[in-house]
Structure 1
């Protein structure tokens, strides 16, 4: 009678065998490291700018236009890199894009050491954003396609923890180097290069997705990769249930078969990040409007609470399911923002408690933006679907960041918070209608719910 290890595709020749359970676990840990590293880099390059912005502006003679453009350059890059990278990942495979995006990021990050003008810095940061956008479109699909079904939500959610941690560490590193050393702003910005070097070499030799191989009718290769790297027989068998249709292209996302997944992911993601980016970016000034000073303390407090929300969601995602952590928290955030908007004379501590509650629950359901795309889009459009939804979300992030100062100045703080509540309500309504429950299901099952 075969042993348990043998039934999972391993061979009884020791823990160092290429198909042993120990080998497969080491591979999964490596995959988690390189994928979370990509998201860590995204948070890092956004968080590192703030501490050096004053020196950067003075040294390069940056105008207000270029100051805003440089700050938003990475977001613009993600807007274009996500759908382009997703299309390429579906057409040419996950593996080449996985190396190409980190290679592009590494080159662009190193170029920060040598910039001499605002335009050069804008172009370099734009290239970094394009690389990160492609990382969204290939990293999450690759994680979903290798992760065991029972752990998929938790493992994909960890990538969002990495984003928030990357942002906070970047701010701390930037602040410490800027205040305590004589290192210039170019070196501080360029610290992301070291992380990129480690991740680039850690990705060498990683395999192609067996699901993508099967979709491309390369069935023998798909079976070989699945047997070598996947731990559970059910996950291996599910690879052979993949479609072999060739559907690469953004236009296909709006056909009868895929439009519901596209609508849900795009609007849910848009409505999740728009109020977050607006409020988190201008946390200190927003809190000051309500009589809550304290310099950076308010913003750091909101970020710390957000990390707690993501961590709790990751711990619960594979236990209580997706919908319970998606729909109710959005309605709760709608109510919280509405109360802030409708009660302008509320005591400052109540306002602070409400903002902290918003930050906690919003970060919780934002975690699902890193989990749902890999599940609701089938393999043939998983990359381009994820990329398109990510691009739509960056439009929301940009609008929220750009419009909040104008809105607070021209419409008032209360009205601005009510607009944010309306955005949250739209996301809640769309999720109430379309958010599926995918806990514990195979990728074939999760995608099937939107494919008919």
Structure 2
């Protein structure tokens, strides 16, 4: 593998670290903030806890615009600035509405990163390594999640302002990432789409052999000559891609993954663990997530996207069913954490490893950012709605019933993978989109 491609991919994928850290770090401040501002379950869930997710929705819906207009690199730089401002502002907030505003800015960064980073990496990566390289983004997400859980645990006993340190520490990786992003080149496929053909050739020359560059340029020329300028992802010819993206994004959240990550300590306490043990168990979740994500990233270009999704779906159904059963039968001790470890492993090796890779592969070059924006929007709308409802759902329906619903949804995911999802392993981006268009 070309060392330059690997280095640029690692830098771009570090946006995923900030995504993962920002998403989960709030879990350590959950109950503290509710007590501090004396918030109701509804206000706390939908404003204080979920405002970053609503920012993510906006970032996902509109993130395709700067990714298309300004380029992949400039959008990645903007994302780093948003995360930096969000971390500092959240830590210094003295009011729930000000706090929510700064969390919203971080959410914008998360939403835009799910478009710009996978698009950038998929467009510089050779087909044989694309799954692993785009998978670095997911690896960094779970690494960020682990670091957030670990950071929360280490900072939990430093006093009444521990929550400020939990949220504020993110400014350091945010600034480091922003400076590193200056060193990467623009995506050559994006440059080509903007008729900056000489610049695109220069970057392609750096990342591939002359034969590879010639084949890619011929593919791009052939596709651009047959592509109307006024196309959009909602045209009938792209309907199948749109359905695929909608379903994989929706099922990702209907597994309950974000609901669990946001409220892991609270769920463990509901299962009978003490507050400190619950926080420590959350770190275990982070380690399991990291290990199985590494396995998923290793296997994605060997076994393919579909097989990993099948393994993950079966693991989801088993683990979520057992978590529900644990709450129904009042199993105490480590039963719930053990089954949730299996759940996280199933997610990491399946949906976690596959979703951003798959969404970045199936649309043609000129519609890739728009297609990813659509998929990310579906993902994040549900990621905002479901966690914001968790405190109410747990109170109204019981924890067991909520997890039983998630298990039921994963049966439908398994059917989707078996009967609808195509394999994209080892196929060029141009050939993937060509095979799915008009299907």
Shorter-chain TM band: 0.7 to 0.9
> For 1:74-97, what per-residue CA distance to the aligned partner results, in whole angstroms no more than 9, with x for missing partners?
111110111211133124422322
1:49 equivalenced with 2:26 (yes/no):
yes
- State the alpha-carbon separation in 1 of the partners of residues 176 and 261 from structure 2: 30
> For 1:228-275, what per-residue CA distance to the aligned partner results, in whole angstroms no more than 9, with x for missing partners?
3446742662243123246688xx222222222222122212212332
Q: Specify the alignment match of 1:169 in structure 2.
A: 147
Q: Go from structure 1 to structure 2 and tell me whether the alpha carbon gap of 1:87 and 1:162 turns closer, same or farther (over 3 Å shift).
A: same
Contact 2:296 2:308 in 1 (8 A): yes
Q: Go from structure 1 to structure 2 and tell me whether the alpha carbon gap of 1:35 and 1:58 turns closer, same or farther (over 3 Å shift).
A: same
Deviation at 1:219, TM superposition (A): 2.5
Q: Go from structure 1 to structure 2 and tell me whether the alpha carbon gap of 1:118 and 1:240 turns closer, same or farther (over 3 Å shift).
A: farther
Q: Specify the alignment match of 1:276 in structure 2.
A: 257
- State the alpha-carbon separation in 2 of the partners of residues 290 and 192 from structure 1: 30
Q: Specify the alignment match of 1:126 in structure 2.
A: 104
SS of 2:157's equivalent in the other structure is helix
Q: Specify the alignment match of 1:100 in structure 2.
A: 78
Of stretches 208-217 and 171-180 in structure 1, the one that deviates more from structure 2 is: 171-180
> For 1:380-406, what per-residue CA distance to the aligned partner results, in whole angstroms no more than 9, with x for missing partners?
111121122112112222333233443
- Unaligned stretches of 5+ residues in structure 2: none
- State the alpha-carbon separation in 2 of the partners of residues 132 and 408 from structure 1: 27
Which of 259, 262, 285 in structure 1 is aligned with 2:242?
262
Q: Specify the alignment match of 2:313 in structure 1.
A: 330
Q: Specify the alignment match of 1:316 in structure 2.
A: 299
Contact 2:127 2:426 in 1 (8 A): yes
Contact 1:79 1:133 in 2 (8 A): yes
Which of 327, 347, 352 in structure 2 is aligned with 1:362?
347
Deviation at 1:59, TM superposition (A): 5.7
- State the alpha-carbon separation in 2 of the partners of residues 403 and 180 from structure 1: 31
- State the alpha-carbon separation in 2 of the partners of residues 122 and 37 from structure 1: 24
Q: Go from structure 1 to structure 2 and tell me whether the alpha carbon gap of 1:191 and 1:80 turns closer, same or farther (over 3 Å shift).
A: same
Q: Go from structure 1 to structure 2 and tell me whether the alpha carbon gap of 1:287 and 1:247 turns closer, same or farther (over 3 Å shift).
A: farther
> For 1:95-153, what per-residue CA distance to the aligned partner results, in whole angstroms no more than 9, with x for missing partners?
32222222333333333354332211111110111122111111110000011222111
- State the alpha-carbon separation in 1 of the partners of residues 299 and 38 from structure 2: 49
Q: Go from structure 1 to structure 2 and tell me whether the alpha carbon gap of 1:202 and 1:108 turns closer, same or farther (over 3 Å shift).
A: same
**TM-score, reference length from structure 2:** 0.86
Structural RMSD (CA): 3.0
Q: Go from structure 1 to structure 2 and tell me whether the alpha carbon gap of 1:55 and 1:411 turns closer, same or farther (over 3 Å shift).
A: closer
Q: Go from structure 1 to structure 2 and tell me whether the alpha carbon gap of 1:179 and 1:332 turns closer, same or farther (over 3 Å shift).
A: closer
Larger Rg: 1
**TM-score, reference length from structure 1:** 0.84
1:38 equivalenced with 2:19 (yes/no):
no
Contact 1:60 1:116 in 2 (8 A): no
Alignment of 1:434-449 (within 5 A): 434-449=420-435
Q: Go from structure 1 to structure 2 and tell me whether the alpha carbon gap of 1:279 and 1:201 turns closer, same or farther (over 3 Å shift).
A: closer
Q: Specify the alignment match of 1:11 in structure 2.
A: none
- State the alpha-carbon separation in 1 of the partners of residues 318 and 75 from structure 2: 41
Q: Specify the alignment match of 1:421 in structure 2.
A: 407
- State the alpha-carbon separation in 2 of the partners of residues 105 and 297 from structure 1: 26
Contact 2:24 2:262 in 1 (8 A): no
Alignment of 1:206-225 (within 5 A): 206-225=184-203
- State the alpha-carbon separation in 1 of the partners of residues 355 and 171 from structure 2: 27
Contact 1:144 1:156 in 2 (8 A): yes
Q: Go from structure 1 to structure 2 and tell me whether the alpha carbon gap of 1:185 and 1:296 turns closer, same or farther (over 3 Å shift).
A: closer
- State the alpha-carbon separation in 1 of the partners of residues 237 and 416 from structure 2: 18
- State the alpha-carbon separation in 1 of the partners of residues 307 and 345 from structure 2: 15
1:302 equivalenced with 2:280 (yes/no):
no
Which of 47, 50, 56 in structure 2 is aligned with 1:78?
56
